[in-house]
Amino acid sequence: MIQDIYPKKLNNSYNPAAKVNDNSLIVVHDAGKFLLKIDEDNATIAFPTVKDLKDYNNYIYLFQVSGEEFFYAPDFDKEKDVIPDGFDFYTMKQLRNYYLNPKHYVFASYTAIQLIDWYEANRFCGKCGNKNELSKTERALVCPSCGHVRYPRINPAVIVGVRNGDKLLLTKYRTGFAHNALVAGFTEIGETIEETVEREVLEETGLHVKNITYYKSQPWGIASDILMGFYCDVDGDDTISMDESELKYAQWVSREDIELQPLEYSLTNEMMKQFKDGIK
Q: Which is nearer to Zn ion, 125 or 162 (CB)?
A: 125
Q: Which is nearer to Zn ion, 130 or 254 (CB)?
A: 130
Q: Which is nearer to Zn ion, 80 or 136 (CB)?
A: 136
Q: Dihedral of CA 97/275/271/169: which sign?
A: positive
Mark the segment that binds Zn ion (CB under 5 A) among 27-35, 57-65, 119-127, 239-247.
119-127
Shortest distance, position 115 Cβ to Zn ion, whole Å: 21
User: Does position 131 bind Zn ion by CB under 5 A?
Assistant: no
The whole-angstrom separation of Cα 111 and Cα 266 is 15
Shortest distance, position 60 Cβ to Zn ion, whole Å: 20
3-state secondary structure of 140: coil
3-state secondary structure of 232: strand
For Zn ion, the binding residue among 33, 37, 148, 273 (CB under 5 A) is 148
The whole-angstrom separation of Cα 125 and Cα 150 is 8
- Residue type (1 letter), 119: Y
Mark the segment that binds Zn ion (CB under 5 A) among 14-22, 59-67, 124-132, 171-179.
124-132
User: Does position 128 bind Zn ion by CB under 5 A?
Assistant: yes
User: Does position 146 bind Zn ion by CB under 5 A?
Assistant: yes
User: Does position 125 bind Zn ion by CB under 5 A?
Assistant: yes
Of residues 45 through 84, those in contact with Zn ion by CB under 5 A are none
For Zn ion, the binding residue among 127, 131, 153, 210 (CB under 5 A) is 127
Give the DSSP letter string of 42-89.
TTEEEPPBTTTTTT----EEEEEETTEEEEE-TT--TTTSPPPTT-EE
| β-bridge mates for residue 131, sequence order | 124
